[in-house]
Structure 1
Amino acid sequence: MTELGLMDHEPRGRRAERNSHRRRKKRRRRSGCALFVALLVLVAVVAVGGWYGYRFYQEKFGAAPDYVGDGSGSVTVEIPDGAGTAQIADILYKDAVVKSAGAFLDAAKKQPSKAATIQPGTYPLHRHMSGVSAFSVLTDPKNINALTIPEGTRASKVYQLIDEKLKAKPGTTEKAATTQDIGLPAYAKHNPEGFLWPTRYTVGQNTTPAALLKQMVQQAESEYQQDGIDQAAARLNLSPYQMIIIGSLVQAEAQQDADYGKVARVIDNRIGKGMKLEFDSTINYALNRSTLTTTSADQRTQSPYNTYLHTGLPPGPIGNPGHQAMEAAVNPTPGDWLYFVTVKPGDTRFTASFAQHQKNVAEFNQYQKTHGGQ
């Protein structure tokens, strides 16, 4: 045999030993890979668990997500009556003023006595403000200074109130309303009456008449959408502007809460029958005054707002209605009434009978005579 041939015949024991060594080596490699994979899985689990743990800790015990600084841009925020700190925080978060409600709450918790001074009203703020910065604006005495517009206030009176509040020369606000863009819808035809929403507005050192009027118009459009005037107008075959006009008439004529829906129904019923409204409030608007009664001469006043002379609605609102009046305009109380008169305070009588209405008017006249027109 050759030398090569001798090498091919290795003893069996040695060969078995070498094969066993190879198998152990392979098992060690497989075990090493499995261990490496297990370690990777363990690291991943720890990382994910750590992230969720960190997130849980942050949510429960850590600082709330917050912006830095005074923010930028502008946003008008409405704080409603009776709003608590938590509700205010939610409003600021939804309006993108603060990064989280918690950011504002953290600032408020540090100064609870100041947090209690936050007043309802409209506040000019910025987007992306820190919680502390937003809190400072809402509690700044300069911003707490506010102007309240009562429901039904005419535009002419609103102008006067703004001039007085801003210490501006008389006529300044009226000029701003007629010469500057305050955001009126096209169908208003540049007439602000009916779009100066009655509520509380914050007034700062830098507040201008035009800016305040613009806030009022924006608020009015938002509130009218809430009241659903577009849907109601379509249902009643009227325009949204006519719905606002009706709301202003209801506001001027209704004396008690229970009267609002009934007055709205009288308006609908009379217009439906082609009757003149014959509302004293429209004459008073034309004459720029407020009285309980009108004379025969008053009722001949040549004005498109005189509903004793003209059938249908007046050409525009006669004041700035609030929610109660607009809700009544949108959903009048069911009834067949065509007439009403407030005989005395707290006693407004509605009827579908003209004869009965005449008796009610006679009682009204007697009451006025007895009480000296009070």
Structure 2
Amino acid sequence: MNNPFCKTIKITESVRDMNSKKLMIIKYIVEIALIIFLSFMYYLNQPMKTANVVYIPQGSINKIISQLGHKKYNVSKLDSLILRLVGSPQSGWINVGTSYLTKGDFLYKLTHGKAALQSITLIPGETTYIFFNQLSEKLNLDRGKLQKYYEKYAKYTEGNFVPETYKIPIGITEKELMRLLLRTSHNQMQELSQKIFGLYNEKKWFQYVAIASVIQKESANIKEMPIVSSVIYNRIKKGMRLQMDGTLNYGKYSHLRVTPKRIREDKSVYNTYVHKGIPKIPVCNVSFDALRAAVFPAKTDYLYFMKSKNGTHDFTRYYSTHLKNIHRATK
């Protein structure tokens, strides 16, 4: 005969065992969750070295993390998951404010920070030497480092920058600034070349940059550029030296008046009174108007031009007329 009391005891023990197992499972879950939480907090509090200003490309979170990894930032796939919880990173320059911070602070800055920008304008016809002086003074950057990284990343001595107003993140390093300016300018030149020629041949393109740099230095305005270009091509075709003062306004001499003494004493490749043809190295940074004029010169038979009193140029085919223009301008 079954004993009801014994059954009750067995049921009670079974319930107690089940409750004990449940408590054990809950304990394990809590311990695992605690371990995960502490590991997560430890991960987020890991020290991280970074630039004061970080560039974030447009794209997916995975792409952004991949790009940061290529730039030697200590990031991983776990950071992609964290960013999905925190929010999407902003594209552009992010001001993180310090070189050392925790991983959590870094990820937070990527989603909430934005760099303060300062405008600086590169004027068409300006030399890189003068431009670096301006960058150094206005952005409080080391001019020597600007020159160092320029020489490291630029393929040509001069003419690598597109004249325009640049928005520069405050706090950017000399290295990152050079990479930013060169990359931005290269992309714009490549785009223009593809519009004109249907392709981008860098060597051929910079031959046009060299021609455009002379046009830029010599022209009084955009309207004159194709005409000045025609004079250059016409003189080269006839085997004449260019004999143009603007080519001697290179580098640190960008704003100095060219004197007869300077013409006699300058031994550089830029002296078109001594050397035939276009200087192999561009004289300055050039506008797209000057580049178009270099590619598409006006059809003229002009060989000479002289600045008139109103600031524009008088063009002529004949040397005798040129002498009269010189006389009239200097009276």
TM-score, scaled to structure 2: 0.62
Q: What is the CA-CA distance between 1:226 and the residue it aligns to?
A: 3.2
CA distance in 2, matches of 1:230, 1:271: 27
CA distance in 2, matches of 1:330, 1:134: 44
Q: What is the CA-CA distance between 1:343 and the residue it aligns to?
A: 1.3
Structure 1 segment 275-354 matched on structure 2, within 5 A? 275-285=240-250, 288-296=253-261, 298-354=263-319
Matching residue of 1:45: none
| Unaligned ranges ≥5, structure 1 | 1-65, 76-102, 108-121, 126-132, 367-374
Structure 1 segment 122-201 matched on structure 2, within 5 A? 124=93, 142-178=115-151, 180=152, 182=153, 184-185=154-155, 188=156, 191=157, 193-201=158-166
The 1:144/1:315 distance shift into structure 2, 3 A limit, reads same
Cα deviation digits, residues 256-308 of structure 1 (max 9, x gap)? 12111111111111111111000101223277242455215524422221000
| Unaligned ranges ≥5, structure 2 | 1-58, 69-87, 95-108
Cα deviation digits, residues 312-362 of structure 1 (max 9, x gap)? 111201100011111111111111111111112343111111111111111
The 1:157/1:293 distance shift into structure 2, 3 A limit, reads closer
Q: What is the CA-CA distance between 1:229 and the residue it aligns to?
A: 8.0
CA distance in 2, matches of 1:229, 1:273: 31
2:226 is the counterpart of 1:253: no
The one-letter amino acid paired with 2:220 is: Q
Structure 1 segments of 4+ aligned residues over 6 angstroms from their partners: 66-70, 133-137, 229-232
Q: Are 2:130 and 2:254, in contact at CA under 8 Å, matched by a contact in 1?
A: no
Matching residue of 2:325: 360
Instruction: Return the structure number with greater relative CO, CA threshold 8 A, min gap 6.
Output: 2
- Number of residue pairs the alignment of both structures matches: 236
CA distance in 1, matches of 2:233, 2:207: 12
Matching residue of 1:268: 233
Q: What is the CA-CA distance between 1:204 and the residue it aligns to?
A: 1.8
The one-letter amino acid paired with 1:265 is: S
Cα deviation digits, residues 4-38 of structure 1 (max 9, x gap)? xxxxxxxxxxxxxxxxxxxxxxxxxxxxxxxxxxx
The 1:361/1:244 distance shift into structure 2, 3 A limit, reads same
CA distance in 2, matches of 1:74, 1:198: 28
Structure 1 segment 70-85 matched on structure 2, within 5 A? 71-72=64-65
The 1:68/1:212 distance shift into structure 2, 3 A limit, reads closer
Give aligned-pair identity as a percent. 26
The RMSD of aligned alpha carbons is 3.5
TM-score, scaled to structure 1: 0.55
Q: Are 2:248 and 2:271, in contact at CA under 8 Å, matched by a contact in 1?
A: yes
